[in-house]
Structure 1
């Protein structure tokens, strides 16, 4: 008859086998679940053998698989602790394994957040047509990663029972000092984010502020560059620029153009009545300009004033000026054919007399 094993060894061996079985069976279940999710996502993708949203879905699935396998290992370890008296009465190994599992989980989650967040931000910039801003995002990526790694470290230390009161106080003091030191750069960065998100103007838009008019050439973190119509490059801080009233001529779905005509007060009524039709015909002969109206507005000193309005369905200043020139020349030619004379320009008002008397 063979030797009889010690009951404690039998219990330990049985607990070890149960723990291994739970780890293996649980890991197999996680593997099957992840594989089923991957197949379902591939069927939902617009093209076969591809996952939707680029690298986001693989990141989520890989992180889910890692956390699932880790959960199975912790489950098997808890089963082993419950079945082995030595581990049950000695909390040291259990604390060590629990701490290591929590550390691995924090690393997996923080890596997932960092990679997913940066990838989503980069995708958003590309979809918004701001590929030039991706370099700025890559420059800020180390700061974003450090922020989430710091938060993950605080969560891990708090779960381990480390007193964080002194750490929080130190971080608060450091944050105040850092905020005072970075007040200027932070203000520049917030102004830059305002331009990127609110989009009062974009690169290439023709904008005007104060006495400056020109297209936007560059939008940086601290300043923006505008090329004036005279050719000089104007650099202005984003914070100062946002405090001004900006006229964005590049964001016009269509441009409304209103002009006044001063014609001779000797013009016969029949010719005056025909002027709206003449102007309308000239404007309609120059597409894409669209005619709106033309009216005899008032009797002025020595003149009859007409006003006409047309629209230019283009935000380009060059297109607008070309159409305006062609329409003006067409009106001038039509008036010369009809013998319609323009009025003399109004006389300048007399200069005010100086107060007081000589001598």
Structure 2
């Protein structure tokens, strides 16, 4: 040990200066941090700006150990050092600064993830978690690579090996990654969310859960349907939860022997019935076609609700109103009719259970069956 250094007065003087500057710098930095946090929180309360709140929380989460390291490096910068220590000090500055910036960015990502649940909107928690994890991994990887580069480590080969390894892993888990990115796409694009009623193919039900690989749907019949995210995204999907109104088209028929003036009255009757029901808007009602056994009317109305039960209630009231209204104007609903013409030959014998054969034949003749 070099005892001459310990008894050197300049050594102790420099050490005292270093300790003093470090303590004073630490106190000043902590005071500046507290003042900045108070100002930012005041701005956040006054303007309700989310950015000010984020900045206040990030400054509040500043590592005190890193503040002390900054204070020490400020003191070392003022005290006269050898050139070798100057180079080491510059690297220490970058190391501390990079680590603190990574901590701030990590805190910002976590605050952003928490803020997504504060506005009351339903979001896909899986997508939020995936995005948060990816951003945090990216922040720390970039911090590590920058520190290694500053220390003189050649990171080119490392980055290339990471790229090759990533490609190999992607090929090995291609199916899993396709479902994972499909889940991410569902969360960002939001074609549907938890609680939406959807129909695709022969499946109809309510979205219960959106996972990393699959989406679970509760069908109308009660069972749970599990579908992969990639397969779900490749299909045309009807989302009825976001439907504001329902356009309803239905038809009915009246008999061919209905007089023309009463046929004209039917359209006006339909309009009166629909307008009297409420919760729906009449669009049109027309005598549209001559069909088998009936004169066909087509009716269109728009229900002012997306709820299926409300639509069924409205349609029931319309049907009851039409049933009573047509009876009031003496118009009959059409029933399927088939006319069969019997020409020549003899009618087959009819046997009625429980009656003698002769009685059944006499009964047939008594009804005036045609004879050849």
TM-score, length-scaled by structure 2: 0.75
Q: Would the alpha carbon gap of residues 216 and 94 (structure 1) be closer, same or farther in structure 2, given more than 3 Å must change? A: same
Q: Secondary structure at the match of 2:236?
A: coil
Give the count of matched residue pairs.
Answer: 330
- The gaps in structure 1 that reach 5 residues or longer are 1-8, 348-359
Instruction: Indicate if the aligned counterparts of 1:125 and 1:133 stay in contact, CA closer than 8 A.
Output: no
- Shift in Å at residue 63 of structure 1? 3.4
Q: Deviations over 1:89-146 (max 9, x none)?
A: x41x233333333222222222222222122023225536336616x75588666544
User: Is 1:150 aligned to residue 141 of structure 2?
Assistant: yes
Cα pair distance change 1:190/1:100, threshold 3 Å: same
Q: Equivalents in 2 of 1:53, 1:183: separation in Å?
A: 42
Contact preservation (8 Å) 1:256, 1:309: yes
How do residues 183-194 of structure 1 correspond to structure 2 at under 5 angstroms?
Answer: 183-194=174-185
- Change in Cα spacing, 1:262 to 1:338, as seen in structure 2 (3 Å) is same
Residues 1:96 and 2:95 aligned together = no
Q: Give secondary structure in 1 for the equivalent of 2:45.
A: coil
Which residue of the partner structure matches residue 79 of structure 1?
78
Give the SS at the match of 2:253. strand
Larger mean Cα displacement after TM superposition, 285-294 or 61-70: 61-70
Report the Cα distance in structure 1 between the residues aligned to 2:103 and 2:256, rounded to whole angstroms.
81
In structure 2, C-alpha distance between the alignment counterparts of 1:164 and 1:262, rounded to whole Å: 80
* 2:269 corresponds to 1:278: yes
Counterpart in 2 of 1:108?
100
Structure 2: segments with no counterpart, 5+ residues: 1-7, 339-372
Aligned to 2:285: 294
**CA-to-partner distance for each residue in 1:53-89, whole Å, 9 max, x for gaps?**
7665222354398877755543432332xxx3xx33x
Is 1:199 paired with 2:198? no
Aligned to 2:59: 60
Q: Distance in 1 between matches of 2:185 and 2:134?
A: 20
Could you tell me which residue of structure 2 aligns to residue 164 of structure 1? 155
How far apart in 2 are the matches of 1:149 and 1:255? Answer: 51
- The 2-side partners of 1:195 and 1:143 are apart by 16
| 2:121 aligns with one of 126, 129, 140 | 129
SS in 2 for 1:114: helix
Deviations 1:147-176 (A, max 9, x none): 432221110010111122332232222222
The 1-side partners of 2:137 and 2:44 are apart by 34
Tell me, in whole angstroms, the C-alpha distance in 2 between the residues paired with 1:181 and 1:114: 30
**2:327 aligned partner:** 336
Q: Secondary structure at the match of 1:63?
A: coil
Quick check: 2:214–2:226 contact (8 Å CA) kept in 1?
A: yes
Question: Please, what TM-score do these two structures have when normalized by structure 1?
Answer: 0.77
SS in 1 for 2:284: strand
Assess if the C-alpha contact under 8 Å between 1:44 and 1:52 holds in 2.
Answer: no
C-alpha root-mean-square deviation of aligned residues, in Å?
Answer: 3.5
User: Alignment partner for residue 258 of structure 2, among 258, 267, 285?
Assistant: 267
